[in-house]
Structure 1
Amino acid sequence: MAWLFPFAVLVGAILVLMGLGLPVAFAFFVTNVIGLYLFFGGSIGVTQMVANFSDAVSTYALAPLPMFLVMGSLFFRSGLGEKVIYALDLCIGNLRGRLAYVVLAAGTIFSALSGSSLANTGMMGSLMVPEMLKRGYKPHMAYGPVLGAGSLAVIIPPSSLAVLLGSLAQIDVGALLIAGALPGLLLVVMYATLILAQTKIDPDAAPHYPVPAVRAAEKVRAVAVNIIPMSVIVFMVVGTIILGIATPTESAGLGCAAVVALLLAYRRFSWSVVWKSLDDAMKVTGMTFLIISASTTFSQIFAFSGASSGFIQFIVGYDFGPYSMLFLMVLVILLLGMFMDQVSMMLITLPIFLPIAQQFGYDPVWFGLILLLAYEVGFTTPPFGLLLFIMIGVAPKGTSLKTVAMSAAPYIALALLLILLIVVFPRIALFLPNLI
C-alpha cells in the first residue's frame, strides 16, 4: 500500500485547498510544489514544472478552444441570439407550454453556435424566465427547460469542454466533438417529451394563452432571415469536420469567419463587440491554459510517485467488471459535481480514470462522451451546480436553491438515462465518428 501515501497527499491537498476557496489553478500549483518536493527531487522538480508550461499549452488540439469562445461571444454580444428566439416564437404554434419549447429549440441552436453552457443559460434565463413567470408558468416549468437546454452545449458541438477533455485525455478532438451530435439531439427529443408529459399531467403548470395568428409567409420569412443563415455557422464548424474538409482547428476558424460575415450582413458588426468578445475569450483561455499547465505536472507527479499504478492495481485486484468500473467512475463524477465545477472535476479525475479506462479497453471516444455527459449533470446538481446559481441570479428575488434544483431534477434523470443508453448501445456515440 505504498501508493496510498502519495495518493492521499496529492488528492487530499487538492480537495482541501479548493475547499478553502483557492482558485483551481493555484490549488494545483501549490499541490504540485508539495508533490515535487516530496516525490520528484525538490527544486529540480520545480524546474521541470516550469519547463512543462510551454509544452502543455502548445498542444495543437487546444487551438480551437479560444476560437470557439470568440465565436460564441460574438454571437451573443451582437444580439443575433435574440433574433433566433424571435423567429422560433413566431413559428411554434399555439401549444400548451409553447415558451418551454421555444427555450428548448433556442438552446439547441445556441449550443451549436456557442459551445458555452454558462452563456446559453444566462441569456435564455434573462430573456425567457421573466416572460414565462409573467404568463403564469409554474417555477419548475420556467426554470427546468432553461437549465436542461443550457447544459446541451456540453455535448452538442462545438463544445469547449469537449475540446479541453480531448486535449487532456489525448482523444481525437474532432471525433469527440462529432460524437456528441447524435446523443445531443436524442437528449433534445427526451427533453421535449418531458415537457409534453409535464403539461399533460399538470395543465396549470403552463397556462394556455391566446397567441396572435401569424401568416405562413411571415413564419417562412422569419426562419429564412433569422435561423437559416445560422446554419452556415453550424456547417462551417460541424459539417466540415464530418465531411473531412477541415480539422477542428480549421473549422473553428471558419466558424469565426462565418459569424463575422453574418454580423456584417445584419449590420451588427462593431469593433466594440469584437473587442469585448476577444476580451471574454482571452480571460477564459488564459485561466484554462494556466490550469492545463498545472494539471500536466500534477499528472506527471501522480504517475512518478506510484500513486497512479498502485491505485490501478488496487482497483483491478477487486475484479470489477468493465461496466461496474464505469458505474463507479460516473458515480464519483456525480458526487464531485455536487461540490466543484467541471474543469476542476476533469483535472482531478482524468489522471485516475484514463489509465483504468485503458486497462479495461474502453473505446476512447465512447468513454470521453460518457465523461462529458457526467460532467454535464454536474452543472445542475446541488448545492454548487454553476447553472443553478446562474438561474437564481435571473430568477425573482427570494427564489430558493431548492426550487431551482427540483426544477432541474427531471432533466438530470434524463441525462443519466442517456448515459445508460450509450453504455448499452455504443453506436449512439460512435456512429458519426465512424463516418469520418
Structure 2
Amino acid sequence: MSIELLTLCLILSVFLVFVTGLPVAFSLGSVSMLFTIFLWGPHSLQLITHAALGSMTSFMLVAIPLFILMGNILERSGLAETLFKMVYLWMGPVKGGLAIGTVVICTAMAAMVGVIGAGIVTMGVIALPSMLRRGYNKELAMGAIMAGGALGALIPPSVAMILYSSLGKLSIGKMFLGGIIPGLILSFLYMAFIWIKCYLNPSAGPALSSEETVTWRQKFAALRDSILPMALIVLVLGSIFIGAATPTEASAVGAFGAFLTTVFYRKFSWRMLKEACFRTLKLFSMVMWILIGASCFSRFYMAMGAADLVKGLVTGSGINPWLIIIGMQISLIVLGMLMEDYAIIMIAAPIYIPIVTALGFDPLWFGILFIINMQIAVLTPPYGFALFYMKGLSNEITMAQLYRSIIPFVPLQAVGLVLVMIFPKIALWLPGLMFE
C-alpha cells in the first residue's frame, strides 16, 4: 500500500473515531496502535510506548503545570478582583470604560495564567455583573470578556506556545517574545472597537453616573494594591527574556511568587491552595493525555515516511508557497470549529512545521500565526470553548446572544492574523532583538 493511500486511510480513521465521541487522546492513540500492528506486527508496538514515554519525560513540559499553578493561585486568591477594582476606578468615567478595562485586565491575566479559560471565567464572574448593572449592552460585555480571555493563548506564558515549541523543537523564550506584540495589537484593536462603538452609541457602554464619584486617593490606593501582581509578571517573563532563567525555572519562581503574593495580601488559605492544586492537576492531566496520544500518532506517521511525502508534495506541487500558507490558515480555522485548541496543536503542528520549513518560511513566525488561529478557534462555534465557558456562568445567557457577541471580535482577530502574515517583523522583531 502506498504512503499516500495510507495517509488517506489514517486521516479517515481518525475522524471516524472522533465521530464516535471517544476523547481526542484515546482516538489518536488507538488509531496509531492499530495501524502500527497492521503494518509491522505486534512486536512494533514498542514504537508507540517509546513515543508515550518520551512525551512524559520532556523537561521542557515541566513549565506547563507550574505556570498553570501560578495562574490558579492568583485567580483563586481574589487578586483579579483587586485588578478589576483598579480598572473600575480609573476607567469607569469613560464611555465603554469598564469593557475597555476588562480587556486590559484580561491582557494582564493572560500574562499570569497562560490559559484561556481562567481569564474568561474569572472576568465573567467579576466584570460581567458589574457591567450589566450599569446598563452595558450584554453582547458587548460578553464579547469583550471572551475576546480578552482568548489572549491567554497568545500572550506569554502561554501553555499553547509551550506545546507548539516542544513539538517544533523551537525556543520557548523566542515564542513568548514573538507573541507579545501581536497580543498587544489585538488587545488594542479590541479596545479601539469598544471605544468607537460606545462613542457612537453611548447607551452600549455608559460612563459612571455623577453619583459614583471617585477621588484621586481611591484611584492611587487601588493602583498601589495592583503593583505586586504586575511585578510578579515582569519578574517571571523578564527573567526568561534576558536569559537569567529558563522557562521551566521561571515557572517555578512564578508559582512560588504567586504563593508569597497571596500571603502578603492576607488572601492565603489552605482551601484556596487545595483548589488551585486540584484545578492545576485536572488541566495538566488533560493536556498530557492529549500530548501522549498525539505523540504516538506523530511518531507512527513519521516512521511511515511522512517526511518524504511532505517534502515531495511541497517541492513537486508547483503551488505558490503563500497559497499553501493561506490554505493552512483556513484549515486551522475549520479545525477550530470542530476541535479544542490543544488537540489541533498536537495533530497539525508536527505535520505543518516541516512543510513550512521546506517552503523556506520561519517556523517561529508560522508558530505565531498558528497560535492566533487557536484564539479564533476558541471563539468560533460550534466547538468554541470560550462560548462554553461563558454559557456555564449563567442560565440566562442564550446561545444566540453568545454567537452575536463574538461577531465583531472574530474579524478583528482575522485582521491581526493578516497583519502578522503581511508584516512578519511584528512577530520576529522582538525575538531577534533579544536573542541576537
Output the CA distance in 2 between the equivalents of 1:426 and 1:30: 39
Query: How far apart, CA to CA, are the structure 2 residues paired with 1:16 and 1:203?
Result: 50
- CA deviations on 1:349-377 (whole Å, 9 max, x unpaired) are 12321121111122121111110001111
- 1:223 corresponds to 2:206: no
| Cα distance in structure 2, aligned partners of 1:18 and 1:375 | 19
Counterparts of 1:102-251 in structure 2, within 5 Å, are 102-211=101-210, 212-225=212-225, 227-251=226-250
The aligned residue for residue 31 of structure 1 is 31
Aligned to 2:431: 433
Equivalent residue for 1:10?
10
Report the equivalent of 2:21. Answer: 21
Aligned-partner residue type, residue 217 of structure 1: R
Kindly provide the amino acid, as one letter, of the partner of residue 22 in structure 1: L
Partner of 1:259: 258
State the match for 1:424 in structure 2.
Answer: 422
Instruction: Give unpaired runs (5+ residues) of structure 1.
Output: none
- Partner of 1:394, secondary structure, is coil
Task: Name 2:401's counterpart in structure 1.
Answer: 403
Contact 2:295-2:346 within 8 A present in 1 as well: no
Provide the rounded CA distance (Å) in 2 between the counterparts of 1:269 and 1:409: 40
Deviation for aligned residue 1:311: 4.5
Partner of residue 374, structure 2: 375
Mapped contact 1:232–1:258 kept (Cα < 8 A) = no
Contact 1:178 1:238 in 2 (8 A): no
- Code of the residue aligned with 2:308 in structure 1: it is S
Cα deviation, residue 208, structure 1: 4.0
How do 1:252-331 and structure 2 match up within 5 A?
252-331=251-330
Quote how far apart the aligned CAs of 1:396 are.
4.8
Q: Is the Cα–Cα contact under 8 Å of residues 74 and 277 in structure 1 kept in the other structure?
A: yes
Output the CA distance in 1 between the equivalents of 2:155 and 2:350. 25
Please give the root-mean-square deviation of Cα atoms over the aligned residues, in Å: 1.7
Query: Partner of 1:63: helix, strand, or coil?
Result: helix
Q: Percent identity?
A: 28
By how many angstroms is 1:52 displaced?
2.6
- Give me the whole-angstrom Cα distance separating, in 2, the residues matched to 1:244 and 1:166: 17
Q: Which moved more, 1:57-66 or 1:43-52?
A: 43-52
Larger mean CA deviation between 157-166 and 290-299 belongs to 290-299
Displacement of 1:130 in angstroms is 2.5
The one-letter code sitting in structure 2 at the alignment partner of 1:33 is M
1:189-229 CA-partner distances (Å, limit 9, x unpaired): 1111110121133222223440522221221111011x111
**Quick check: 1:91 aligned with 2:90?**
yes
CA contact (8 A) 2:47 2:299 kept: no
Q: Distance in 1 between matches of 2:51 and 2:313?
A: 29
- 1:51 is displaced (CA, Å) by 2.7
CA contact (8 A) 2:96 2:198 kept: yes
- Asked if 2 retains the 8 angstrom alpha-carbon contact of 1:68 and 1:256, the reply is yes
In the alignment, is the contact (CA less than 8 A) between 2:298 and 2:347 conserved in 1? no
Give a deviation string over 1:289-335, Cα, whole Å, max 9, x none.
22222222211221222345324423443322222111100100000
Find the partner of 2:411 among 413, 419, 422: 413
Are the structure 2 counterparts of residues 335 and 284 from structure 1 closer, same or farther at C-alpha, using a change threshold of 3 Å? Answer: same
- 2:256 counterpart SS class: helix
Aligned pair count reads: 433
Is the 8 Å Cα contact of residues 4 and 307 (structure 1) preserved in structure 2? no
The TM-score with structure 2 as length reference comes to: 0.95
Report how far residue 135 of structure 1 moved.
Answer: 2.4
Task: Please give the secondary structure, in 2, of the residue aligned with 1:379.
Answer: helix
